Amino acid sequence: MNENPSVAVLGLGAMGLPMAERLAETFTVRGFDIAPARLGLAAEAGIAPAGSAAEAATGAQVVLVAVRDSAQLADVLFGDAGIADSLAEGAVVVLTSTVGTEGVADVAVSLAQRGIGLVDAPLSGGPARAREGDLLIVVGAHPAALAVARPVLEVLASTLTIVGERAGDGQALKTVNQLLCGVHIAAAAEALALADRLGLDLDRTLEALQAGAAASFMLGNRGPRMLQAWDDEGAEVLSRLDIFVKDMGIVGAATRRAGLPAPLAAAAEQSYLLAQAQGLGESDDSSVIRISAPARRT
């Protein structure tokens, strides 16, 4: 195993770019994004920009793929401009996105037929933590593929959890994680909207809640941004609301395939869909509070 592999990052968006910046401190990194502006930012950060995904991937031992969904994953790997045939035998593709379990095993088989490994490694933490190497990464991968990718993953993660040896195991755990996160954000929004309508001081309310049994990471993290979401300029976009539209859709599909009733997840999904329908899809996900209370009263 090469402990200092060459790395490509495909997708230099909100998560891909800070991950590439973090990795460039340790590895030789090439990056590609369809948006020229993102390539420009990557070049400024010391990441070698490539003219295509295939160019970025050629010669790389580890290729991080940060895409929106399974359709984009299939396209970047096997589409007309896909990278699968540009990778050398023994290279690994690291899937960092949340795309759901369906189809991931088939992607792993298609890559394996070319001598390429798939490391299913969806992550959580947001852009700031990506830049600092403070991500939670859950992994499903064959041990041989994981061995190639591990030096890269360890630079990005403060918590690296191996959940299984099958591609799809990481997606399965991330689906469970997103169920909880999606419900927690929606519940925090309703709680703070109620506190506002009851005339409570919202800063003191947040402080009190975080000191007791009602505390949660999402309340502490999103709560202050929910108060900002009521302002004219809104909250800084650190996690787009339409990402939870996608992720809660993945949760819903998984629960239906499992024959599992999940009324809380379904209700949370409707909150995000309502917010998206009201034009908040590109806003921070804390803006879901505006479904319960369009404006602040206190």
> Which CATH number does the domain housing residue 94 bear?
3.40.50.720
Token pair, residue 194, equals: 């109620």
Q: Which of the following is catalytic: 30, 38, 129, 174?
A: 174
Closest CA to 91 of 59, 127, 122, 69: 59
Q: Is 246 annotated as catalytic?
A: no
Average pLDDT over residues 19-39: 95
* 124 contact partners, CB below 8 Å, separation of at least 6: 135, 136, 137, 174, 177, 181
Which phi and psi (to 5°) does residue 164 adopt? Answer: 175, 175
pLDDT tens for 231-259 read 999 999 989 999 999 999 999 999 999 99
105 and 201 part of one domain: no
Average pLDDT over residues 195-213: 97
In this model, does residue 163 exceed pLDDT 90? yes
115 and 224 part of one domain: no
CB atoms within 10 A of CB 190: 15
101 and 245 part of one domain: no
Is 298 part of a structural domain of the chain? no
Q: What is the pLDDT of residue 24?
A: 94
Percent of the chain with pLDDT over 70: 99
64 and 115 part of one domain: yes
Closest CA to 76 of 104, 51, 57, 49: 57
215 and 115 part of one domain: no
In this model, does residue 1 exceed pLDDT 60? no
Average pLDDT, the chain: 95
Domain boundary (166, 200, 232) is at 166
12 and 151 part of one domain: yes
Average pLDDT over residues 158-167: 96
134 and 11 part of one domain: yes
Is 257 part of a structural domain of the chain? yes
d(CA 161, CA 69) in angstroms, rounded, equals 22
**pLDDT interval class at 5 (50, 70, 90):** confident
CATH of the domain at 215: 1.10.1040.10
Q: What is the pLDDT of residue 2?
A: 56
193 and 159 part of one domain: no
Q: In the chain, what's the furthest Cα-to-Cα distance?
A: 63
Token pair, residue 270, equals: 């409707």
Number of domains in the chain: 2
Domain membership of residue 204 as a residue range: 172-292
Domain boundary (136, 166, 196) is at 166
Which runs of E-coded beta strand occur in the chain? 7-10, 29-32, 48-49, 62-65, 92-95, 117-120, 123-124, 135-140, 157-164
Is 1 part of a structural domain of the chain? no
154 and 124 part of one domain: yes
